[in-house]
Chains A and B, each alone.
Chain A
Amino acid sequence: MSNDHATLGAAYLADEPRVDWHNKAVFNFRHLRDKVIHANMPEWEEMRSQASAIKQHTLEHLDDYLLQFEAKAKENGVTVHWASTAEEHNQIVYSLIQKAKATRVVKSKSMLTEECQLNPYLEARGVEIIDTDLGERIVQMLDQPPSHIVAPAIHLKKEEISDLFNKELGTEKNNADPTYLTRAARKHLREKFVSAQVGITGGNFLVADSGAVVVVTNEGNADLGCHIPPIQIHCVGIEKMIPRWQDLGLFVRMLAPSAMGLLITVYTSHYMKPKAGGEMHIVLVDNGRSDQLGSVHHRNSLKCIRCSACFNTCPVFRRTGGFSYHTVIGGPIGSILMPNKDINEYKDLPFASSLCGSCSDVCPVKIDIHNQLYKWRQEINAKTTASTSKKIMMSFASKALASNQGMSRINRLIRPMLKSLPRFMIYNRLNAWGKGREMPPVPIETFDQWYKNNRS
C-alpha cells in the first residue's frame, strides 16, 4: 500500500518543526481536559461508568429506542427518514432540497455528512453547500477534509489561514490576528445564512423519550442555520441515541471537557419541532452501524460520542496528523471503526498504534479502544491477504518459541551476525530498526549462558 498510515505518517514526520507544533497544539486539548476535570468533576470515574452503562443499555435496545424516538418526533410534527446507506442518506437530503427548489444550503458541523460525502454529492447536482463551522469552512475553502473530528483545521497555522482569507475573502495581507480573521469569516457567513433556503445540522444526541435532536456548538452556527432558512434537516447516526432527557445532562457534562477542556460548550441546542411555517426533517443513518452492532468484539465502539479525547491523547495522531489515517474519522476510534467499513482499505489502521492504551483511559464512555485494535489485528490477518514475509517470519517464530531449544537456536542465529558483520551489512534499508536507532549491544554472554556458568 502506498497510501498506508506508515507511508503517510513518515511523509508528515519529515517536517519535524511542524510535527512538534501539531503535537503541542493537539496535546493542549488533553492538558486542558485534565485541568478542567480535576478542578470540577471529582466524580469523573463514576460518570464514565454510568455513561458507558447507559450506552451499553441503549445499544442493547437500540431497535426499541429508535422506534420510540420516531414516534415522539412524529408527534412533534417532525418528518423522520431512514437511510441504511450513505447513498440513501444523500438521496433523501437531495430530494428534500429539490422539493424546496433550493440552490443554497448552509450546514453546521457534522462528521456524519463527511462520512456520507454529502458535499460532493450535492455540488455535483448544482447545489451550493456552505459549511458554517469556522474550522470546517476553512478546510472547505481549501478543498480538504477535516483533519480532526472536533477541530477540523487544527493542522493549519493562523498565518496559513490569513493567506487563505486574503485570497478568498479579501482580508488584509499578513494580518493573522485571530479576532480579525474570525470577524471576517463571520461577515462572510452571515451573507450565506440569510440567503440559504435549507439548513443542515449533524447531531450529538438523539433523545428517545422526547424525539429531540441535541446539537452542541461554540459558534451558534447550528442555530442560525436552523432558524433562518425555512427548512431544517438534521442528519444523525443511529448510535447517537440516549434513552431519556434525564440522561442528557451526564453526557453534555462529559463531552466538552473531553473534547477541548471546556466546562461546557457555548450553545447546547435542543431541536424538537418545526418553526412556524417551516419544516423539520431528521434523517436517521445506519451506514454500517448495524453490522458493527452485530459484532460481539466491536459493538462497544458504537458508544462513541465523537468527543476526540482519544485523538488528543494519542501519541501517534499528534505526530502524524489527521490525514495519515486516509479516512474521514481517523485517530484511535477511527482505527477501530473503519476496518468494519472496508477491511482491505483500512487494514493498516489497527497497526498504526503502539497499543499504549491511553485512548481507552481517556474515553468518557469507556470504549476499550486498545483491546479492539489488538482484536482487529487478529481479524485482519485472518481475513485479508497479509504480507507473506511477515507470515513466514511469524510461523518460524511460533515454532521456535514453542520448544526448549528455541532460544538457543535464535541466539546462535542472531549473536554472531550482530557481533561480527560490518556496519553496512547491519545498517541498510532492510533494517527498519536501524533507520534511526543503533542495534542493542551484544554482551559477552547471554543470561542463559551466564546462569549455566555460574549457577547450575
Chain B
Amino acid sequence: MRVGLFIPCYVNLFYPNVGIATLELLEKYGCQVEYPQGQTCCGQPIANSGYESKAKDTYLHFVNTFQKYDYIVAPSGSCTYHVKKHYDIIDQDEKVKRVRSQTYDLTDFLLEIVKVDIADASFPHKVSLHQSCHGLRGLRTASGSERLVTPYNKWEELLSNVKGLQLVQTAIKDECCGFGGTFSIEEPELSVKMGKDKIKDSINSEAEYITSGDMSCLMHLDGVIRRNQYPIKVIHIAEILNSRI
C-alpha cells in the first residue's frame, strides 16, 4: 500500500527525529512510504485562531498534495483530527472526501490498518502517557475518563508490547497539557501552569519520560521542563516504537 507521509510543520522544523522514526516504522511494517515535497500544514493554527475562511487554500493544498496515496499518515492526532473534522468548509468532491477518510494518525494506522504487533521495540524506562486531547476526544484513540464506555486505549495497547517499558499511571489520567495551539501564546500564564501541573503529576508517578502521539503537546511540555529544569524528558510515541536499546 502506498502511504503519503504527512509531517506536521513544527515536526519538520524542530523534531526531524520524530519524522524519521515515523518513516522507518512504517517501512518496517511493509508500507511503501513517500514524503511528498511541497507539503505544508493542515491549516489548524489559522482555523483555531478563528480564521478558517483564510485556511481554505491550505486545505486544498493538503488535499492536492496527498490525493494520490492510498493512505495519508501523520505522527499527530491533532493534525489528523483537523483534516477529518474541519475540512468540511471546502467543497466535498470525491477527492476531498477520500483524502479526509484516508488520513490516519500513526497509532490508529498501525493498529487498525497495518495491524501490527510491536514485538521488536525495546525501551527500558518508566513512561507516563499524555493522551493528547485531539487524539483522545477527537479521534477517540482511547475511551477517556468522562464517558461510561468499555475502557480501551490504543496508545497503551502499542506501548504495552515494548520490551522493558514500564507504563506508570498519573493521578489525573487525561487532563489537557495546556498547549492548545495559539492558546499557548494568548493565555501564556495559564498554558504554562497547566503544563507544570501535568509534568508534576508525571514526576510524582516516577516517570522518566512523558510520551504522547502529539509532538505539539510535548514541545510545550519540553519548553516548561527545560525552563524549570524538571527531572523528566519527553519523547514521541513513534520514537519509542522505533527504538531498540
A357 touches B133 (CB 8 A): yes
B14 touches A443 (CB 8 A): yes
Partner of B193, one of A319, A360, A407, A439: A319
B-facing residues in A332-382 (Cβ within 8 Å): 350-358, 360-362, 370, 374, 377-378, 380-382
With an 8 Å Cβ cutoff, the count of chain A residues facing the other chain is: 80
Closest chain A residue to B22, Cβ basis: A447
| B residues neighboring A (CB under 8 Å) | 7, 9-17, 19-20, 23, 35, 37-41, 43, 45-55, 57-58, 60-61, 86, 133-134, 137-138, 144-149, 172, 174-176, 178-181, 183-195, 197, 219-220, 222-224, 226-227
Closest chain B residue to A440, Cβ basis: B14
Distance in angstroms from B162 CB to nearest chain A CB is 23
Partner of A45, one of B13, B148, B183, B227: B148
Interface residue? A92 (CB, 8 A):
no
> Which residues from chain A contact B172 at a C-beta distance below 8 Å?
27
> Which residues from chain A contact B138 at a C-beta distance below 8 Å?
357
B-facing residues in A416-456 (Cβ within 8 Å): 432-433, 435-443, 445-451, 455-456
Closest chain B residue to A391, Cβ basis: B51
Interface residue? A89 (CB, 8 A):
no
Distance in angstroms from B2 CB to nearest chain A CB is 15
B184 touches A433 (CB 8 A): yes
A374 touches B46 (CB 8 A): no
A374 touches B188 (CB 8 A): no
**A112-127, CB under 8 A of B: which get 1 and which 0?**
0000000000000000
Cβ contacts A to B, 30 pairs, < 8 Å: A6-B190, A9-B189, A10-B189, A13-B193, A44-B147, A320-B190, A351-B187, A354-B176, A354-B178, A355-B48, A356-B137, A357-B138, A374-B48, A381-B49, A386-B50, A397-B54, A398-B51, A398-B57, A398-B58, A402-B60, A402-B61, A406-B40, A407-B40, A410-B13, A432-B188, A436-B188, A445-B16, A448-B12, A451-B19, A451-B35
A378 touches B52 (CB 8 A): yes
Partner of B49, one of A382, A394, A401, A450: A394
Residues A42 and B148 in contact in the complex (CB < 8 Å), given A355-B48, A440-B15, A443-B16: yes
B52 touches A313 (CB 8 A): no
> Which residues from chain B contact A398 at a C-beta distance below 8 Å?
46, 51, 54-55, 57-58
A173 to B99 alpha-carbon distance, docked (Å) = 69
B20 touches A13 (CB 8 A): no
A435 to B192 alpha-carbon distance, docked (Å) = 9
Distance in angstroms from A448 CB to nearest chain B CB is 6
Residues A355 and B145 in contact in the complex (CB < 8 Å), given A394-B54, A414-B13: no
B148 touches A438 (CB 8 A): no
A45 touches B46 (CB 8 A): no
Interface residue? A230 (CB, 8 A):
no
